[in-house]
Amino acid sequence: MTVAPIAADLHGEAARIITDALLHDPGWLAVGPDRTGHRRLVARLYHRGALRIMERHGGPIYGAFRDGRLAGVAATFAAGLYPPPARTFFTTAPGFLLAGPPAVVRGLRTSSVQDGGHPKEPHVFLWFLAVDPARQRSGVGRELLGQVFEDARAPVYLDTSNPANLPYYSSFGFEQIGCGDLPRDAKMWFMRRP
């Protein structure tokens, strides 16, 4: 397996992987449309836009390649690069507009909770860590996190709405620094690795 920054020509495949990995994540269930197919479409548009934002205003975006194929993605904002300019909101807005007004409201509420959890000191923001479902539990996530940690020049921060992720991230030295309430009785946990 190799891990390396990916270019824009792989954003479509990276967005598919992120969407497939997070489609049933409690955060997406709290925010997105109820129907799985509709949620998949909205999430894919959103993730494609988010990757464009990171390409222009953040990064690096790492890809893990196994047998020559993209198997996982770690999308980050290096220290001092988050948040991106406010105008980038319009890059991810089309997906949520397609989801309909209730999802837009839930998405804005979730974004506010997420932004409020960021530490005030400089940090690397790991926005997405996703492994193709067919490749999960094979060390892809571990390799991606290893590269993020190796390149980090500040503490690494992430948020997760999946309680099953808490012990996983704790095993890499992340500590919980807070939590927030999301729509539909979901929660978001904020974690930092010194």
Q: Which residues contact 128 (CB under 8 A, 6 or more apart)?
A: 18, 22, 47, 50, 73, 74, 75
Q: Are 156 and 124 in contact (CB under 8 A)?
A: yes
Indicate the CATH number for domain 2-193: 3.40.630.30
State residue 77's pLDDT score.
98
Alpha-carbon gap, residue 159 to 187, rounded angstroms: 10
Could you tell me what percent of the chain has a pLDDT over 90?
Answer: 96
State residue 98's pLDDT score.
92
State residue 96's pLDDT score.
81
pTM of the entire predicted model? 0.96
Mean pLDDT by 10 residues, the chain (194 residues): 96 98 97 96 96 96 96 97 93 88 94 95 97 96 98 98 98 98 98 96
pLDDT in tens, 33-67: 999 999 999 999 999 999 999 999 999 999 999 99
- DSSP letter for each residue of 170-193: HTTT-EEEEEEE-GGG-EEEEEEE
pLDDT in tens, 97-116: 899 999 999 999 999 999 99
Q: Which residues contact 108 (CB under 8 A, 6 or more apart)?
A: none
